[in-house]
Amino acid sequence: MCGIWGYVGATDSIDVADAWNGLCALTDRGPDAWGMYVDGHGRVTDEASLPDGESAVAIGNRRLSILDLSAAGTQPMEYDGSWIVYNGEVYNYREIREDLRDLGHEFDSDSDTEVILHAYEEYGSACVERLRGMFAFVVFDADADRLFAARDRFGIKPFYYSHTDGRFSFASEVTSLLDGGVVERTVDPVSVDGFLTFGYVPGPRTIVAGVRSLPPASTLTYDRSTGDLDVERYWTPSFDSSDPETDLRDLLEETVSLRLRSDVPVGAFLSGGLDSSTIVALMREVSAGDRDDLHTFSVGFESDTYDESAFAETVAERFGTDHTSTVVGPADVRARLDDVVASMDQPTIDGVNTYFVSQAAADAGLKVTLSGLGSDELFFGYPTFETVARRYRAAKRLQTIPRPVRNAGGELLSRLGDAVDDHTIEAAGDAVAADSAFGAAYLSARGLFSRRARSGLLPETDRVRWDEHVGESVSDLLGATDDRNVVSDAELGWYMRDQLLRQTDSMSMAHSLEVRVPFLDVPLAEHVMGLDADDKAVGEKALLKDAVSDLLPLDVIEREKTGFTFPFAEWLRDDLSDVVTEATSADRLAATPIDAAAAADVRDQFLAGDRHWSRVWALTVLSLWMDEHLLVEDR
Is the same domain home to 191 and 173? yes
pTM (2 d.p.): 0.95
Nearest to 360 by CA among 330, 323, 331: 323
How confident is residue 635, by pLDDT bands cut at 50, 70 and 90? Answer: very low
Q: What is the CATH number of the domain that holds 271?
A: 3.40.50.620
Inter-CA distances, 464 with 204, 355, 449, 455, 618, Å: 14, 31, 13, 10, 18
- pLDDT at residue 197, as a whole number: 96
- pLDDT at residue 591, as a whole number: 84
| Assigned domain for 450 exists | yes
Is the same domain home to 513 and 595? no
| Assigned domain for 94 exists | yes
Single out the residue in 205, 233, 261 at which a domain terminates: 233
pLDDT at 76 over 50: yes
Binding positions: 112, 299, 371-372
- Burial-class residue 304 by CB neighbours within 10 Å (0-12, 13-18, 19+): exposed
Inter-CA distances, 113 with 39, 78, 80, 85, 136, Å: 21, 10, 15, 8, 11
Identify whether the C-beta of residue 611 lies closer than 8 Å to the C-beta of residue 421: yes
| Assigned domain for 563 exists | no
Single out the residue in 538, 558, 578 at which a domain terminates: 558
| Assigned domain for 9 exists | yes
Single out the residue in 558, 578, 600 at which a domain terminates: 558
Instruction: Select the more confidently predicted residue: 434 or 338.
Output: 338
CB contact burial 417-433 (16+ within 10 A = b; e otherwise): bbeeeebebbbbbbbbb
What are the catalytic residues? Answer: 2
pLDDT digits (tens, 9 = 90+) for 201-231: 999 999 999 999 999 999 999 999 999 999 9
| Assigned domain for 413 exists | yes
Inter-CA distances, 127 with 49, 122, 150, Å: 34, 8, 10
Is the same domain home to 512 and 366? yes
Average pLDDT over residues 430-436: 74
How confident is residue 539, by pLDDT bands cut at 50, 70 and 90? Answer: confident
Is the same domain home to 355 and 293? yes
Instruction: Select the more confidently predicted residue: 434 or 615.
Output: 615
DSSP 8-state assignment for residue 464: P
Q: Pairing relation of β-strands 2-9 and 167-171?
A: antiparallel
Inter-CA distances, 386 with 194, 380, 381, 487, 488, Å: 24, 9, 10, 9, 11
Binding positions for L-glutamine: 112
Domain around 100: 2-233
Peptide bond into 31 cis (omega under 30): no
| Assigned domain for 242 exists | no
Binding positions for ATP: 299, 371-372
* Signed CA dihedral, 419, 422, 427, 433: sign only: negative
Q: How many CB atoms lie within 10 A of CB 555?
A: 12
Is the same domain home to 454 and 481? yes
How confident is residue 563, by pLDDT bands cut at 50, 70 and 90? Answer: low
The domain tally of the chain equals: 4
Is the same domain home to 375 and 389? no
Is the same domain home to 119 and 136? yes
Identify whether the C-beta of residue 299 lies closer than 8 Å to the C-beta of residue 355: no
- pLDDT at residue 154, as a whole number: 98
Instruction: Select the more confidently predicted residue: 71 or 434.
Output: 71
Is the same domain home to 552 and 608? no
Is the same domain home to 487 and 509? no
| Assigned domain for 531 exists | yes
Is the same domain home to 525 and 604? no
Question: What value does the mean pLDDT of the chain take?
Answer: 92
Q: What is the CATH number of the domain that holds 165?
A: 3.60.20.10
Pinpoint the alpha helices (H) of 235-273: 248-258
Nearest to 269 by CA among 494, 525, 517: 517
Instruction: Select the more confidently predicted residue: 173 or 240.
Output: 173
Is the same domain home to 374 and 397? no
pLDDT at 303 over 90: no
Is the same domain home to 531 and 435? no
- pLDDT at residue 20, as a whole number: 97
Which residue(s) pair with 8 in the sheet? 57, 168
| Assigned domain for 239 exists | no
